[in-house]
Amino acid sequence: MLGNFSYHNPTKLYFGDQALGYLNEELPKYGETVQLIYGGGSIKKSGLYDEILAILKQNGKTVVEDAGVMPNPTVEKLREGVRLARENKVDFLLAVGGGSCCDYAKAVSVSVHCDDDPWDKYYIRFEEPDCEIVPVGCVLTMAGTGSEMNGGAVITNHEQKLKIGHVFSDEVMPKFSILNPKYTMTLPKRQMVAGIYDIFNHICEQYFSGEDDNTSDYLAEALMKSVVHSSLIAVKNPEDYEARSNIMWTATWALNTLISRGKSTDWMVHMIGQSVGAYTDATHGMTLAAVSLPYYRMIMPYGLAKFKRFATEVWGVSADGKTDEQVAEEGLRALEGWMKQLGVTLSIGELGATEEMLEGIAEGTIILDGGYKTLTKEEVIQVLRESL
Ligand code: NZQ
Ligand code: ZN
C-alpha cells in the first residue's frame, strides 16, 4: 500500500426498496428550512417528488424549491442556487436526482456563506472552504457517479469552455444518502448504460496505477466483475432488481474513496472526457466511453503488467502460449466487446466534437501524472483524433 493515509467516510447510507422511510430519521437532525434540489422533472413523473414533499411536510419543514438542475450543472445555475439559499436562509440542502443534483448541492453548500465567487474560488484557485458549510442529504435516482458518498462536485462553465471537478473533504460529503434501486428503473436505457460505464471507468482510473501488490486492486477487480455481470442482465431486462441493486451498490463503492487508498490513481480518461463535455455538453459516461479505448491502447505499453492482469483477472483471458502484449490486447478487446454490448458511444464525433475543437479540448484537459504515462498535449490530441 502506497504512502500514509487515513480512512473515514462520514456518509450514512440507507439502501433498499424501503430506504426512503429513513428520511424521517434524518430530517429532524437539521433545521427547518430545506432547499429541495432536483432536475428537469423525472422525479415529478415518477411520483418521488410527491412522496418526498409529503415527508418534508410531515417533519414540519419549510420547503424552498430549487428545480431545473441540468445534467452537467452550470456555474450560472450554481450562482442562482446560492442566491436562493441565502435569500431563504436555508438550513439543509436535499438533492433528489442523479450525480448532477448531488454535485450541485455540494457546490451550493460550500458557497452560501462565502463571499467569493464559487467558480473562481473552488474551480480556478482550487481553495478549500473556509466558511460555514450547509449540510447536504441525497436521494439518488441514477447510479453512476458515486457522488452520493464522496466529496466531488463537477461544475461546467460554458463561457470559459471548462468542466472542472473539485473533490471536497469529508465535511462536504452528504450527511446521508438514500439508495433505492427501484428509482433507477425509470432511467432511459442510454442513461443507464452511461452510468454503468461511468462506474466501470471510476474503477479503472484507480486500478491503472502503481506496481505494488495492492489490496485496492483486488477490491477493484471484484467490483469490475460485478458491474460487468450485472450490466449484461440489466441491458436485457432493466427491471431486474437484483442486477439494478448490485449496479447501484457497486457505483457507490467504486468512488467513495475506498479503492483509491494506497494508489496514486490515474484519472486521465475523466480529464479528457470532462473537456469533451465542456465543448459538447455530452452525457458524462458517454464522453468517458468515447475516449477510453484510444487512451488505454496508448498507455498499455507503459503499464503492461497491469493490463495483462486486467485481461486475466477481469475478463478471464487465458495467458497460455501468448506474449504479455497479446494477453493485454485481448483484455482491451474484451472491454471493447462489452462496451458494444452495452451500446455506449465509442466516438467523440457522435457526441458533437469536431476536428476544429480538438486543440481547445486538449488545452482544457488537466494533465495528471498518477498513471502509467504522463501525456503531452499532442498525445491528448492523438487520443481525441482517434476517437473522432
Ligand atoms: O433532470 P432529470 O429530469 O432528473 O433527468 C435526469 C438527467 O436528464 C435523468 N434521470 C436521473 N434519474 C432518473 C432520470 N430519468 C429518469 N428516471 C430516473 N430515475 O438522467 C439524466 C442525467 O442525470 P445526471 O444527474 O446528469 O447524471 P449523472 O448521475 O451521470 O451525473 C452526471 C454529473 O456528475 C458528474 C458529471 O461530470 C456530471 O456533471 N460527476 C460527478 C462525480 C463525483 N461527484 O464524484 C464523478 C463523476 O466522474 C462525474 O464527473
Ligand atoms: Zn465519472
User: Are 159 and 228 in the same domain?
Assistant: no
Instruction: Summarize the confidence of residues 194-201 as an average pLDDT.
Output: 99
Distance of alpha carbon 276 from alpha carbon 351, whole angstroms? 9
Please report the atom of ligand 1 found closest to the CA of residue 73: 39
If pLDDT is split at 50, 70 and 90, which confidence band does 112 have?
A: very high
Is 45 a domain residue?
yes
Tens digit of each residue's pLDDT (9 = 90 or more) over 318-357: 999 999 999 999 999 999 999 999 999 999 999 999 999 9
**Among 183, 207, 236, where does a domain finish?**
183
Tens digit of each residue's pLDDT (9 = 90 or more) over 29-48: 999 999 999 999 999 999 99
User: Are 28 and 104 in the same domain?
Assistant: yes
Distance of alpha carbon 227 from alpha carbon 180, whole angstroms? 17
Number of domains comprising the chain:
2
Q: What is the mean pLDDT of the chain?
A: 98
- Let me know if 153 is exposed, middle or buried by CB neighbors in 10 A (0-12, 13-18, 19+): buried
CATH label of the domain that carries residue 75: 3.40.50.1970
Is 86 a domain residue?
yes
Residue 300 pLDDT: 98
User: Are 133 and 101 in the same domain?
Assistant: yes
User: Are 170 and 283 in the same domain?
Assistant: no
Ligand nearest to the CA of 197: 2
- How many other CB atoms are there within 10 angstroms of residue 245's CB atom? 20
Is 3 a domain residue?
no
Tens digit of each residue's pLDDT (9 = 90 or more) over 119-165: 999 999 999 999 999 999 999 999 999 999 999 999 999 999 999 99
Out of 103, 196, 239, 275, mutate this one to test ligand 1's pocket (max ligand atoms within 8 Å of CB): namely 103
User: Are 264 and 302 in the same domain?
Assistant: yes
Out of 17, 42, 77, mutate this one to test ligand 1's pocket (max ligand atoms within 8 Å of CB): namely 42
Tens digit of each residue's pLDDT (9 = 90 or more) over 74-89: 999 999 999 999 999 9
Distance of alpha carbon 123 from alpha carbon 117, whole angstroms? 10
User: Are 378 and 345 in the same domain?
Assistant: yes
Residue 215 pLDDT: 98
Whole-prediction pTM: 0.98
If pLDDT is split at 50, 70 and 90, which confidence band does 12 have?
A: very high
Instruction: Summarize the confidence of residues 60-66 as an average pLDDT.
Output: 98
Is 332 a domain residue?
yes
User: Are 25 and 140 in the same domain?
Assistant: yes
CATH label of the domain that carries residue 344: 1.20.1090.10
Distance of alpha carbon 308 from alpha carbon 171, whole angstroms? 39
Is 266 a domain residue?
yes
By percentage, how much of the chain surpasses pLDDT 70?
Answer: 100
User: Are 158 and 218 in the same domain?
Assistant: no
User: Are 245 and 167 in the same domain?
Assistant: no
CA angle 51, 241, 226 (to 5 degrees): 125
**Among 150, 183, 216, where does a domain finish?**
183
Residue 254 pLDDT: 98
If pLDDT is split at 50, 70 and 90, which confidence band does 95 have?
A: very high
In the sheet that 12-15 helps form, which strands lie side by side, from edge to edge? Answer: 12-15, 176-179, 136-140, 92-97, 33-38, 62-66
Tens digit of each residue's pLDDT (9 = 90 or more) over 303-324: 999 999 999 999 999 999 999 9
The beta strands (E) that lie in the chain are given as 12-15, 33-38, 62-66, 92-97, 136-140, 152-157, 162-167, 176-179
Residue 21 pLDDT: 97
**Among 135, 151, 183, where does a domain finish?**
183
Residue 367 pLDDT: 98
Is 7 a domain residue?
no
Tens digit of each residue's pLDDT (9 = 90 or more) over 224-253: 999 999 999 999 999 999 999 999 999 999
Please report the atom of ligand 1 found closest to the CA of residue 103: 44
Distance of alpha carbon 295 from alpha carbon 297, whole angstroms? 5
User: Are 63 and 197 in the same domain?
Assistant: no
User: Do residues 239 and 342 touch, judged by C-beta distance below 8 A?
Assistant: no
Please report the atom of ligand 1 found closest to the CA of residue 101: 25
User: Are 232 and 369 in the same domain?
Assistant: yes
If pLDDT is split at 50, 70 and 90, which confidence band does 298 have?
A: very high
User: Are 147 and 236 in the same domain?
Assistant: no
Enumerate residues lining ligand 1, CB below 6 A. Answer: 39-43, 71-72, 97-101, 103, 141-142, 144-147, 150, 152, 154, 165, 183-184, 186-187, 191, 195, 198, 255, 270, 284
Is 135 a domain residue?
yes
If pLDDT is split at 50, 70 and 90, which confidence band does 16 have?
A: very high
Residue 127 pLDDT: 98
CA 340–ligand 1 middle distance (angstroms): 22
Residue 242 pLDDT: 98
Residue 2 pLDDT: 92
Residue 282 pLDDT: 98
Range of the structural domain that residue 122 is part of: 12-183
Is 5 a domain residue?
no
If pLDDT is split at 50, 70 and 90, which confidence band does 26 have?
A: very high
Instruction: Summarize the confidence of residues 283-294 as an average pLDDT.
Output: 98
If pLDDT is split at 50, 70 and 90, which confidence band does 166 have?
A: very high
